[in-house]
């Protein structure tokens, strides 16, 4: 759970996701390398993989900036989620190890909701869906979801109403987990479809309202 991979790439990754650099911010090679205490070359190597992961946008001769997801990006992210998550849930076994991760995420979400700790709540919600994807036992699909989730968090960062964004889904996560355990994967999958449609609508609403 705790990711203590201290490679430069992961450090940058975490800092970006944590909102240290706002989406759209230009990341100057010289100043950032200096601030991180590494050389330009190693920083550039890290930039290449972050760019490949979609966290950072690279324009030739103009450097990299923190990705700033557009409405089209959000739509595409949810499209990909609808392809992967419900199918993983439908075929998943209630005995799969990832189920305990789902349960842990639900409980963490409930705790965070009570504490009104929106950042932790957002992380917990994401962990819940990550566990759903893990049901598929597919490293490649997990990688896709990891990248997609990171991008989505960037979109979340631009919305300054985290409560509306995350709070409504705590009870839904709990309900979805129970459906999965008591009624099986296919029933949970259809419930997740609706869930994702609602989630997309929530995000897009806040998003377009923001870009007004």
User: Residue from 62, 140, 211, 212 that binds its own copies (CB under 8 A)?
Assistant: 140
CA distances (Å), origin 87, targets 1, 83, 104, 113, 187: 24, 7, 21, 28, 11
Judged by CB under 8 A, the stretch of 30-38, 73-81, 166-174, 193-201 that binds its own copies is 73-81
Q: Binding partner of residue 76 among its own copies, DNA, none, CB under 5 to 8 Å per kind?
A: its own copies
Query: Parallel, antiparallel, or unpaired: how do β-strands 26-27 and 56-59 relate?
Result: unpaired
Percent helix, percent strand, percent coil in the chain, to nearest 5:
75, 5, 25
Q: Which residues of 125-154 are buried (b: 16+ CB within 10 A; e: fewer)?
A: bbbbbbbbbbbbeeeebbebbebbbbbbbb
The candidate with the shortest Cα–Cα distance to 16, out of 47, 60, 40, is 47
Q: Binding partner of residue 15 among DNA, its own copies, none, CB under 5 to 8 Å per kind?
A: none
Q: Binding partner of residue 37 among its own copies, DNA, none, CB under 5 to 8 Å per kind?
A: DNA
> Is residue 204 close enough to count as binding its own copies by CB under 8 A?
no
> Is residue 56 close enough to count as binding its own copies by CB under 8 A?
no
Q: Which residues on neighbouring strands pair with residue 27, listed in sequence order?
A: 64
Judged by CB under 8 A, the stretch of 19-27, 71-79, 101-109, 156-164 that binds its own copies is 71-79
> Is residue 110 close enough to count as binding its own copies by CB under 8 A?
no
User: Residue from 12, 126, 136, 188 that binds its own copies (CB under 8 A)?
Assistant: 136
Q: Which is nearer to its own copies, 54 or 162 (CB)?
A: 54
> Is residue 102 close enough to count as binding its own copies by CB under 8 A?
no
User: Residue from 56, 106, 134, 148 that binds its own copies (CB under 8 A)?
Assistant: 148
Phi then psi dihedrals of residue 93, to 5 deg: -100, 140
CA distances (Å), origin 210, targets 150, 161, 203, 206: 20, 10, 10, 6
Query: Distance between terminal CA atoms of the chain?
Result: 37
Q: Binding partner of residue 58 among DNA, its own copies, none, CB under 5 to 8 Å per kind?
A: DNA
Binding site for its own copies (CB under 8 A): 41, 44-46, 48-49, 51-54, 76-77, 79-80, 83-84, 87-88, 136-141, 144, 147-148
């Amino acid at each position: 759970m705790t990711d203590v991979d201290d490679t430069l790439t992961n450090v940058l990754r975490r800092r970006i996701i944590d909102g240290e650099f706002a989406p759209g911010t230009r990341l100057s090679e010289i100043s950032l390398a200096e601030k991180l205490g590494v050389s330009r070359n190693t920083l550039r190597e890290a930039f290449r993989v972050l760019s490949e992961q979609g966290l950072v946008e690279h324009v030739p001769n103009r450097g990299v900036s923190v990705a700033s997801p557009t409405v089209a990006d959000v739509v595409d992210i949810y499209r990909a989620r609808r392809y992967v998550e419900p199918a993983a849930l439908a075929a998943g076994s209630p005995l799969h190890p990832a189920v305990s991760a789902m349960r842990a995420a639900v409980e963490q979400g409930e705790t965070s909701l009570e504490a009104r700790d929106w950042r932790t709540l957002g992380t917990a919600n994401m962990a819940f869906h990550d566990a759903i994807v893990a049901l598929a036992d597919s490293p490649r699909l997990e990688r896709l979801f990891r990248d997609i989730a990171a991008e989505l968090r960037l979109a979340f960062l631009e919305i300054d109403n985290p409560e509306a964004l995350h709070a409504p889904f705590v009870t839904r996560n709990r309900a979805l987990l129970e459906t999965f355990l008591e009624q099986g994967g296919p029933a949970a999958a259809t419930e997740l479809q609706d869930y994702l449609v609602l989630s997309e609508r929530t995000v897009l609403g806040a998003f377009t309202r923001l870009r007004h």
